């Protein structure tokens, strides 16, 4: 999601102005573009915060408990240039449909659909081929990507657990909105399925990161030293790739 913008919320009442036309609070038009509007109130919030979610075409606004919706909308409208830049930086949404290019293991693949193809999804020579019903392409291809994510991450997990000399924990594939991976207190490791679209070294860096948490449930110097002993690649380069390109993975399909 885009970086948040915030404004300290003044408790002094704003001057009265003419009432604005009523609008659907679930949508907001700014600069001629229509956005989904998601408003959350937080009792401990001290300011109005604005984030963008390009994957959903949405603006997310967090309000202090006493703030008025109209003031949040006015704040968002005042950030029109920032909002436009945030969406432009993220890139355009990519529909999962015949002819579209989508990333798989760090390489662009063109979706090649033909009703005469078998039902099995096959990725080869820069193409992802599948058959079956045309109206189920996105459902079936998303299911296949998630299955591929689990297959690859399971192999990564087995590899790093063997290196670390620890039992292999439970693995879950997640659809988290803001986390690439997590390691719970009970040892379950969750990896975001969208990493199947990233280069292999990036996906493996996230799995290695979570395996390192099996020994150090923190981000101390000892944790990073242990992580660097497990991961065979350049951890900082992998982190940089995710920072630069990770949000774009959320723009592929509907999730």
Alpha carbons 14 and 132: distance in angstroms, whole number: 59
Per-domain boundaries in the chain: 5-90, 138-251
Q: Where are the alpha helices (DSSP H) in the chain?
A: 69-78, 80-90, 137-164, 200-212, 221-230, 235-245
- Per-residue pLDDT 10s for the chain (255 aa) are 566 666 543 333 444 434 333 334 688 888 888 888 888 888 888 889 998 887 778 898 988 888 888 888 899 999 999 988 888 777 778 999 999 999 999 999 999 999 988 889 999 999 999 999 999 999 999 999 999 999 999 999 999 999 999 999 999 999 998 899 999 988 899 999 999 999 999 999 999 999 999 999 999 999 999 999 999 999 999 999 999 999 899 999 976
3-state SS, 42-106, equals ECCCCEEEEEEECCCCEEEEEEECCCCHHHHHHHHHHCHHHHHHHHHHHCCCECCCCCCEEEECC
Q: What is the pTM of this model?
A: 0.74
The pLDDT assigned to 87 comes to 80
Q: Is 230 helix (H, G, I), strand (E, B) or coil?
A: helix
Which CATH architecture is the domain 138-251 placed in? 2-Layer Sandwich (3.30)
pLDDT of residue 237: 97
């Amino acid at each position: 999601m885009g970086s948040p913008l915030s404004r300290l919320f003044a408790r002094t009442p704003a001057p009265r102005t003419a009432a604005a036309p009523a609008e659907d609070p679930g949508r907001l038009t700014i600069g001629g573009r229509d956005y989904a509007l998601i408003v959350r109130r937080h009792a401990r919030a001290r300011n109005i915060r604005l984030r963008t979610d390009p994957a959903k075409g949405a603006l997310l606004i967090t309000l202090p408990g006493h703030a008025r919706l109209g003031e949040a909308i006015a704040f968002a409208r005042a950030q029109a240039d920032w909002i436009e830049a945030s969406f432009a930086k993220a890139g355009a949404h990519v529909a999962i449909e015949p002819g579209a290019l989508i990333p798989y293991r760090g390489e662009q693949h063109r979706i090649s659909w033909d009703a005469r193809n078998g039902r099995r999804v096959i990725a080869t020579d820069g193409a992802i081929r599948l058959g079956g019903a045309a109206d189920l392409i996105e459902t079936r291809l998303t299911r296949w990507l998630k299955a591929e994510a689990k297959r690859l991450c399971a192999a990564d997990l087995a590899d790093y657990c063997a290196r670390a000399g620890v039992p292999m924990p439970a693995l879950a594939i997640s659809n988290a909105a803001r986390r690439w991976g997590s390691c719970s207190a009970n040892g379950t490791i969750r990896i975001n399925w969208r990493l199947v679209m990233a280069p292999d070294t990036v996906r493996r860096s996230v799995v290695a990161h979570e395996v390192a948490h099996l020994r150090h449930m923190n981000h101390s110097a000892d944790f990073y030293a242990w992580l660097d002993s497990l991961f065979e690649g350049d951890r900082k380069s992998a982190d940089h790739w995710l920072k630069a390109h990770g949000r774009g993975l959320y723009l592929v399909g509907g999730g």
